[in-house]
Each structure stands twice: as C-alpha cells, then as structure tokens.
Structure 1
Amino acid sequence: MDTKSLIIEKATILFQQKGYKSVGLTEILKACNVTKGALYHHFPNGKEQLLIACLQVLNEVIMTDIESIFRRHLSTKEALLSIIDKLIRDLETEGTITGYTFSSIVSEMATVSEPVRHACSALYENIQQIYSAKLVTDGLSNESASAIALLMTASIEGAMMLCLTQQSSDPLKTIAKLLPKLLKDI
C-alpha cells in the first residue's frame, strides 16, 4: 500500500472512531508511522484536506458495497434487509460499524467547513440515488421513490448512531422489522 493510501485508511478509521476534532495530526502520524513531511506532501492543506480524501474513499467503498448488494437482490425490500443484516453482523462481530458510518463527522464538521459538508452531502445523495433507482424499478414513481429513499437513508443512519451509542444492535433490528412494512406493497 502506498503512503497516501495508508494515511487515508488509518485516518478514516480514527475519524470514524473518535471524530474529526478529537484526532490530532500526531495521532495520525503515529498510526501510519510516517513523518509530518510525508503527510503534508500528500495533503498540503492539512487535516481538512485529508478528511475530504477520507470521505471520498468512504463514498467509493460504501457505494460499491451498496450497489453490489442491490444488484444481487430482486427487490428493494430484500436488498434493504441484506444491508441491515450486514450492519448488524459487523456490529456484533467487530463491535463497531466503522466501514459505513460517518455521521459523527457530519455532526462535527458540516457547519464548520463547506468542502466537508459538500463531501458528506454527496455521499448521502449517492446512497439515496441507489435506493431510489431500485424503488423505481420496483414500480414507484420518481417522487415517491425519492421520498422513501430519504426515509430509508435517515432511518439507517440514525439506527447506526443509536447502535453505537447504546452499544447494541437493537436499533438496527427494529428498523429491519419496520422498514420492510413500508415497502410491503411495492
């Protein structure tokens, strides 16, 4: 793995686990075993530029994963349950959902940094577009699909945050029971 990729990978994990403001450059450098010069070589504008790179990589990883799941399932309902089951398994086996959640970064930085807000917004929009496209395939109008995709995104993101704060998979299990009822007639 090249140095830039290593820095992004380690920083992403640290940002997700501790939040952007709680992670200092020294901690990132130590986790990567690189010098400050190496970090600034790849990210001349510093920590915020690194965060945006982390969000872009997260976007690619999450989109690839969600698209793969949605391609394997015929209906939105089946794909949704598969995603939630994956999140529950990750939480119960690893104790966290670091690969998927970035809500803590949004809550810390969206009002402070316009570039970070845009990167986070793009990620949510991409998730919603995947959900919405599948819902249209299931027979919903564009308007209905868009509204339900927003509800699905908000429900899953909120459930992930509740799972992390409660240290329990119960919130995801609850939405796994309730969201499919919303999709029952599709």
Structure 2
Amino acid sequence: MGVKGEETRARLIAGTRSLIEAHGYFGTGLNQVVAESGAPRGSLYFHFPEGKDQLVAAALAQAGQEVEDLLAATVREGADTATALTALTQAFADRLTRSGFTKGCPIATVALEVAGGNEGLRQVCAEVYAGWQRVLAQRLTAEGFEAAEADVAAGQALALLEGAVLLAQVRRSVEPLLDASHAVRHLITAHANRAPQPTR
C-alpha cells in the first residue's frame, strides 16, 4: 500500500473514531464516515472490504491502543499505579470538556451498544479493556502485589473510572472523575494493606 493509500485508510479510521465516540455504533453510518473523512466511497470498500464492522473494529483497536500506550508510557516514566490512573482520568476529563461532554472513553459508547448482539465487536472491546488492565496489573505486581490480587485491583480501578466517565457525561461535569481518582487511590491502598506481609 502506498503513502496515499495509508493516508486514506488513516482518514477513514479517524473519521469513524470521531463519529462512533460521539454518536455510537448505531448512530454512525457509512455515508457519514465518507463525509467526515473526505475519502472516496470506493476507497472505503477497498480498505475495509468487510464493511462497517471491520472499519469500526479498526477504529476501536486504534483508540484502545492509544490509551494503553498512555498508561504504559506513564509507568515507564516511573509513576506508580495510582499516578498512572490519575493521568488516564485527566485524559478522559480533557476529552470530555473539549467535546462538550460528548466524548469520554473512546471504547465505552460502542461497548455498551454491542455487548449483547455483536460478538466480533464485543471481542474487540474486551481485548482493549484487557490490555489496559494488563498494564495496570503488571505495574501493581512490580509494586509488590500478588499476581491474582493485582489483576483484581486493576479491574476494579478500571470499572470505577469507566463508571465515572458515564456519570460525567450525564452530569456534564468532571466531578465524578475527580471523585473516582480519589476512590482509586483508596482502593489500591486497601488492596495493599490486605496483601500478606513478608516474614522476617
């Protein structure tokens, strides 16, 4: 694929991301994607011959990887798990405020719609969330958590933040995210206090 082809594919994915984050899976049609991206309709089927689901899957995977990369980069810089989650919370808060509270988590809107009826996209969403949880669990393990406890704590922390994004959108306020950030710190501390202490 040449440079022009890569650019067209990237425009289609970017247009799809923008639309599904604001309007969801069912609120986004291929005509809208073509208009949003400025790409020729024929190029959509050239790059995504399986149609809408293949395009949405690519958009979800790209958005999810960006969040995972943010978490991983924060951890590489030496941040502990709570600080990495605070960075993620701030990223979601910034997205919400910039978009007038129409765009929060880039995965959640579609995940809620497709979880019960589209196995392919449900699996994509599940893999994205699993990647985020894995980064956090690995960091918690490095901080001294047992592997199983680290995975539980990471999952609970993500659930708190994802719920907070939904409340923030409904209330049109970042307060739920700020509250969730504090709650995550307490959650991680509570898990750490329950962890078995090394014997002397």
Q: TM-score, normalised by structure 1?
A: 0.92
Which segment is superposed worse, 58-67 or 92-101? Answer: 92-101
Structure 2 residue aligned with 1:56: 61
- 1:31 maps to 2:36: yes
Structure 1 residue aligned with 2:12: 7
CA apart distance, 1:182 = 1.9
Structure 1 residue aligned with 2:78: 73
Kept in 1, the 8 Å contact 2:64–2:107? The answer is no
- Which amino acid is the alignment partner of residue 14 of structure 1? L
Cα separation, partners in 2 of 1:126 and 1:97, compared to 1, 3 Å: farther
What are structure 1's unaligned runs of at least 5 residues? none
Alignment length (residue pairs): 186
Structure 1 residue aligned with 2:195: none
DSSP 3-state at the match of 1:183: helix
Which segment is superposed worse, 50-59 or 9-18? Answer: 50-59
Q: How does 1:1-186 map to 2 (within 5 A)?
A: 2-96=7-101, 98=103, 100-184=105-189, 186=192
Tell me the C-alpha RMSD between the 2 structures.
1.8
Supply the distance in 2 between the matched residues of 1:83 and 1:154 (Cα, whole angstroms): 13
CA apart distance, 1:145 = 0.4
What are structure 2's unaligned runs of at least 5 residues? 1-5, 193-200
Cα-to-partner distance string for 1:129-181 (whole Å, 9 max, x where unaligned): 01100111111101110110110111111111211122110110111122111
Q: TM-score, normalised by structure 2?
A: 0.86
Kept in 1, the 8 Å contact 2:68–2:132? The answer is yes
Supply the distance in 2 between the matched residues of 1:84 and 1:27 (Cα, whole angstroms): 30
Supply the distance in 2 between the matched residues of 1:142 and 1:97 (Cα, whole angstroms): 36
- Which amino acid is the alignment partner of residue 181 of structure 1? H
CA apart distance, 1:128 = 0.5
DSSP 3-state at the match of 2:189: coil
- Which amino acid is the alignment partner of residue 169 of structure 1? V
Cα separation, partners in 2 of 1:93 and 1:115, compared to 1, 3 Å: closer
CA apart distance, 1:43 = 0.8
Query: What percent identity do the matched residue pairs reach?
Result: 25
Kept in 2, the 8 Å contact 1:101–1:160? The answer is no
